[in-house]
Amino acid sequence: MPRLHARLLGPATLRRPTRRRAARSARAGAAGAVVAGPQDPTTKGDPGPSPDERPLPQPPLVVATADPSLMRMLAFALDQHHLPFVPFTSGSAVLDALLSMPKTGPPAVVLLDVDLPGVDGHAILERLGVERPDSYLLVVLSSHADESTQVRSLLAGALDHLAKPFNVRVLMAKLRRWTAIARRCEAPRC
Amino acid sequence: MADFLHGPWFVDLVRTADLAILWYMLLVNSFFALLLVLAAPQLFAHWRFGSEDVLARSLTSSAVPRVSILVPAYNEAVTIVDSLRALLTLQYPYFEVILVNDGSKDETMQVLVDAYDLYEVPPAVMRRLRTERVKAYYRSRTWTKLLVVDKHNGGKADSLNVALDAARFPYVLACDADTLIEPDALLRLARPFLFDQKIAAVGGTIRVVNSCTVQEGRVTEARVDHRWLSGIQTVEYLRAFLFGRLGWNLLGGNLIISGAFGLFRRDYLTEILGYATSTVTEDFELIVRLQRHLREQDIAAKVVFIPDPVAWTEVPTSVAVFGRQRERWHRGLIATMVAHRQVLFNPKYGATGLIAMPYFLFAELLAPVVEATGLVITVLCTMAGILSVRFAVAFFIAAYLFGTLLSLAAILMEEVSFHRYRRPADTARLLWFAFIEPFGFRQITVWFRLKAFYKFLKGDHSWGRMRREGFGATTPASTSASAGL
Amino acid sequence: MLSLDVLSVAMALEGVLIAIALGGLVLLRMWLVARAHRVEAGVAALEPQLHHWLVEDTPPDAIVRALRALPTYVAFRSVARLATGYLTFERQQRLAPLLRHETWVREVLNGGESLLWWRRFDAARLLSIVGGPDDAPLVASLLSDTSPAVRLVAIDAAARLGGALVDFELATLPSRQDAVQQYQYAALGRHPAAVVAAVEARLTPLETPQRLTTWIDAAAALAHPSVLWRVRDMALHPDPNVRLHVARALRRQPEPETVPVLLRLLQDDDWRVRAQAARALGALRATSAALPLARAVRDRAWWVRYRAALALAQIGGSARGELLLVARGDDLLARDMAKLVAGLSSAAVVEMSEV
């Protein structure tokens, strides 16, 4: 599915891919993303709309999970909903990418599977809480959904805590909502 | 002289002695074959339960016990950050990690303070056990699950006791600082709780990590070392864990839960006053004492072994270090058996007294003596013509061939159930090592274990301070260390 | 008797048996590998259909047809794996009626009466995905199976039956170990309406203390207001174990009337009851309990001091002020505990009070 492949390359539906955004997605891609490659051909040679009708920049959507089947399903779902995203399969890679993302621009919406190899998802939450507080809309995905775990995730700074197995359609609706919220955020904090 | 040696009286004596030794070996091997038979259905069952969908479903609940992980550390500055991080990122909902710095002489403590952003906390801990003095307690600003205790040197058992006091959860996992525990190992260890069993202790499998690929504290690819010493030990560990311990589950419970990877109920450990600092094999001694306590107090809790949770440890690659390890294990075995001799053949202690302890006495403790005697008699007397070649052949078969067959069985069971070694080259290596084990390795272990007798009888109770040598497990890798006698 | 000949025969016999076992293992391995490959292929074939159904909400007929085409064990294992990984309870409920009468499903479910535990296990597993009210008798028998693994999976199967077996499940509960009870509560929470009435009916002073603690724990897991009122009424039960479970359960009842009850339990004779009462007060963020908790930090029992200090830290505000006062006070043990908790990061306070 070449279209899907192209969709996986980062914020490819931007009307005006700025140098900074391209650099960010390149860095994110280099830091362990599953796929990397050329930009979506539709954006090349596009003169871009005039300043008044220029839409707000799309916040990056980061999906981090080590489960390949889950990644496949999310990729399919995000493709159907025209939501471009950057995939990660290792905890340390996603942590590095999040720590090195620029502090301006809309915050990234991060879907983080807690059962990641390398660095534990909760540890990522704690690190981000210490070093880049409130800069991301981070959603935790976990097999455990009991009260204590949910409360811990939320109090550690997560936007939401979802239990696996989750409802994909509901998640897509939530993601659209969250990216809309992120878009309206004032950088660098939300 | 030659007349005497070939005289009927002496020949009869030698023949009877050798026959007795051969029967002993056959019986011991039959017992191992029995363990194999008892292990096979359990292995099948656990392989079934451990498969991904069942594991994922039944263990995502909040029903699992809360565990405090106890990690004694001594001079681990080089590896401590990686091992600790691997522990802190285990896939388990409720646990804490208590690391005890046992008065390290290197910069272990400084490394920890830097890497984990430690801050000192007041010693508000309930002290129930007598230990060496604690210098300070620390918590981490970045990892809420971590507690670090700095204390004066007192040995591994002493450090474990300090950690035991500081633990806040009802179950504790004792492990070594350089043991690599797999991410889902704790979840798998919790299985007997979900199977409605009242548990005193649970043990998992220890595997050999030499020449495996390790990234960020996790084993990403399991390989078999090509060097003969570590290679043969890999086979040995497979045998011991895959059916040695599993078989014992059905014979009244295990008498060994490795100190590198064992889950215990904290209350019971506190009741028996924790680990004994006066022994060189504190994990074996602990279980014997625990089983005694359970029987004496009429507590119906079990000591079980589960084959699929895995912890990896490094084994010695030089004969000298290996020898010291085996000598120490055997010396500890002797000392513990002597100290708890009233359990032997005592019906008050149930299966522990009537099956497990006698087994350890005859098939483990005395094994090197019998094997050495048999070897000496058979070789010398066959060469001298006193015994027929048939005896020599029979000895060879009874002593070594059976052991090899059992190793083959273990390797095959591993292939069939867990299949951690993906490459055919590794399986081939395992088979090769299983075949060459009787040619040198077995004799070396016999030699070192005999040395243990000598040291014990000499009164060399250098139990005192058992300094860690950084190569992991202090368990008698057991049953089949002497298997196939 | 001890002759070499007898020995030789014995050894030969044993050797042959072990060799046969080895041969059997080799064959078993080959068979299992072949099966595993087929299951992988089955899962791979099903995934796209599943994605379409989950994401676009197309009718699931394609999935049913695809499963029908596979060999029974492949269909079963694929469904088990995919259901665990991707299907919410609600989605499984939607898929279940379509699959229930498939031939391969009936074949697996017939194993529920087998003498072989793994067949019963598979039946229970499949029932936990596609079970329906008609399967109640089979589930009931699996719930009281001799194999604990079958019983565990049968608990999930019972959750599919909309509360039909609630009384049966509750009957077995008191004799089970803690972990199994917790697992059962989570499954019972799937159909709260039926369970609430059943648990409420059992929360009477006439029950033995041991059974009563089980019902109280069930009530806490359900966290339903009306049931928890009944629990609150048991706060003055003569048995300290019962009071302990009541205190633990009341952390799920954030109502104004709960606080005075917990404050009374904070003065209980049994230290375990006091500790749980302190914990519950912290969970409820009861600001009015600041002073009593500050007194409790000076308790003789370590656990009470610990929970009380954590509760003060959780409540925050003036309660935290009380904690800092104790940290400067003259009671040595209380001071150490207060300083310990006061110095914890907020994440650590959450971790230590939640878990």
CATH code of the domain containing A127: 3.40.50.2300
In C91-120, the residues whose Cβ lies within 8 Å of chain A are 91
C148, C344, C355: residue with CB nearest B66: C355
Tokens in use for B307? 């084959």
What is the CA angle A94-A95-A97, rounded to 5? Answer: 65
Residue B358: per-residue pLDDT: 92
Residue B452: per-residue pLDDT: 92
Residue A67: per-residue pLDDT: 86
In percent, the amount of chain B with pLDDT more than 70 equals 91
* Helix-then-strand count for chain C, H and E: 21, 0
Residue A111's SS3 state is strand
pTM over 0.90: no
Residue carrying structure tokens 């490094």: B314
Please check whether residue C79 is in contact with residue C122, taking contact to mean a CB–CB distance below 8 angstroms. Answer: no
B56, B142, B218: residue with CB nearest A117: B218
Q: How far is CA C286 from CA B389, C66, C275, C339, in A?
A: 87, 56, 15, 21
- Sort out which chain B residues have CB atoms less than 8 A from A118's CB and list them: 89, 216, 218
Q: Given strand B118-121, what is the order of strands in its sheet?
A: B118-121, B134-140, B146-151, B95-102, B67-73, B171-175, B261-265, B199-208, B302-313, B180-181
A69, A77, A147: residue with CB nearest C85: A69
Sign, CA dihedral B290-B291-B292-B295, equals: positive
Residue of B nearest to C31 (CA): B416
Q: Give the largest CA-CA distance in chain C.
A: 89
Whether domain B1-485 has CATH 3.40.109.10: the reply is: no
Cβ separation B218–A144 shorter than 8 A? no
What's the whole-number mean pLDDT along residues C38-63?
Answer: 90
Tokens in use for B258? 């490795």
CA distance C272 to B313: 40
Contacts of C242 (CB under 8 A, 6+ apart): C209, C212, C213, C216, C234
Per-residue model confidence as pLDDT tens digits over A59-104:
889 999 988 889 999 999 999 988 889 999 888 888 888 888 877 7
DSSP alpha helices (H): ranges in B280-436? 282-296, 319-339, 350-351, 357-359, 367-383, 389-396, 402-417, 424-436
- Sort out which chain C residues have CB atoms less than 8 A from B198's CB and list them: 177
Residue B4: per-residue pLDDT: 64
- Give the number of A-B residue pairs with CB atoms closer than 8 Å: 41
Residue of C nearest to B50 (CA): C149
Task: Judge whether A129 is closer than 8 Å to chain C, CB to CB.
Answer: yes
Residue A14 pLDDT more than 80?
A: no
Per-residue model confidence as pLDDT tens digits over B315-329:
999 999 999 999 999
Residue C38 pLDDT more than 50?
A: yes
Cβ separation B89–A119 shorter than 8 A? yes
Task: Judge whether A168 is closer than 8 Å to chain C, CB to CB.
Answer: yes
Residue B55: per-residue pLDDT: 67
CA distance C210 to chain B (A): 17
Task: Judge whether A166 is closer than 8 Å to chain C, CB to CB.
Answer: yes
Cβ separation C81–B394 shorter than 8 A? no
Residue B474 pLDDT more than 50?
A: no
Task: Judge whether C284 is closer than 8 Å to chain A, CB to CB.
Answer: no
Average pLDDT value over all residues in chain C: 90
B20, B123, B394: residue with CB nearest C8: B394
Confidence of residue B383 (pLDDT cuts 50, 70, 90): confident
Residue A121: per-residue pLDDT: 77
What's the whole-number mean pLDDT along residues B95-115?
Answer: 93
Cβ separation A165–C86 shorter than 8 A? yes
Cβ separation A73–C91 shorter than 8 A? no
Listed by start position, the domains of chain C span 40-161
Q: How many domains does chain A have?
A: 1
Interface test with B, best of C2, C156, C335, C354 (most B CBs within 10 A): C2
What's the whole-number mean pLDDT along residues C278-304?
Answer: 94
Interface test with B, best of A143, A152, A155, A162 (most B CBs within 10 A): A143
Residue of A nearest to C85 (CA): A165
Cβ separation A130–B141 shorter than 8 A? yes
**Partners of residue A113 on adjacent β-strands:** A141
Q: Which of C155, C166, C167 is nearest to C131 (CA)?
A: C155
C85, C88, C186: residue with CB nearest A167: C88
Residue A190: per-residue pLDDT: 57
Q: Which of B42, B52, A48 is nearest to C39 (CA)?
A: B52
Per-residue model confidence as pLDDT tens digits over A17-55:
333 343 343 333 333 333 323 333 333 334 444 444 444
CA distance C242 to C214: 9
Residue A162: per-residue pLDDT: 92
In B165-204, the residues whose Cβ lies within 8 Å of chain A are 183
Residue carrying structure tokens 């009286």: B9
In a domain, A72, yes or no: yes
Residue C313 pLDDT more than 80?
A: yes
Confidence of residue C19 (pLDDT cuts 50, 70, 90): confident
Listed by start position, the domains of chain B span 1-485
Q: Which of B145, B32, B65 is nearest to B99 (CA)?
A: B145
Residue B254: per-residue pLDDT: 84
DSSP annotation string for B54-104: HHHHHTSSTTSPPEEEEEEESS-TTTHHHHHHHHHT-S-SSEEEEEEEE--
Confidence of residue A189 (pLDDT cuts 50, 70, 90): low
| Helices C72-86 and C103-110, axial angle in degrees (round to 10) | 90
Confidence of residue B132 (pLDDT cuts 50, 70, 90): confident
What's the one-letter identity of residue B339? A
Average pLDDT value over all residues in chain B: 85
Higher-confidence residue of B297 and B125: namely B297
Cβ separation A72–C85 shorter than 8 A? no
- Sort out which chain B residues have CB atoms less than 8 A from C302's CB and list them: 124, 126
Higher-confidence residue of B460 and A22: namely B460
CA distance C222 to A18: 52
CA distance A43 to A58: 14
Cβ separation C91–A169 shorter than 8 A? no
What's the whole-number mean pLDDT along residues C271-284?
Answer: 95
Residue C348 pLDDT more than 80?
A: yes
Strand bridging mode A160-163 / B67-73: unpaired
Residue of B nearest to C349 (CA): B144
B141, B196, B405: residue with CB nearest C176: B196
In percent, the amount of chain C with pLDDT more than 70 equals 99
Residue A175: per-residue pLDDT: 92
Higher-confidence residue of B379 and C104: namely C104
Residue C186 pLDDT more than 90?
A: no
Confidence of residue B54 (pLDDT cuts 50, 70, 90): low
Interface test with A, best of C40, C51, C89 (most A CBs within 10 A): C51
Task: Judge whether B3 is closer than 8 Å to chain A, CB to CB.
Answer: no
Please check whether residue C258 is in contact with residue C288, taking contact to mean a CB–CB distance below 8 angstroms. Answer: no
Confidence of residue B46 (pLDDT cuts 50, 70, 90): confident
Task: Judge whether B94 is closer than 8 Å to chain A, CB to CB.
Answer: yes
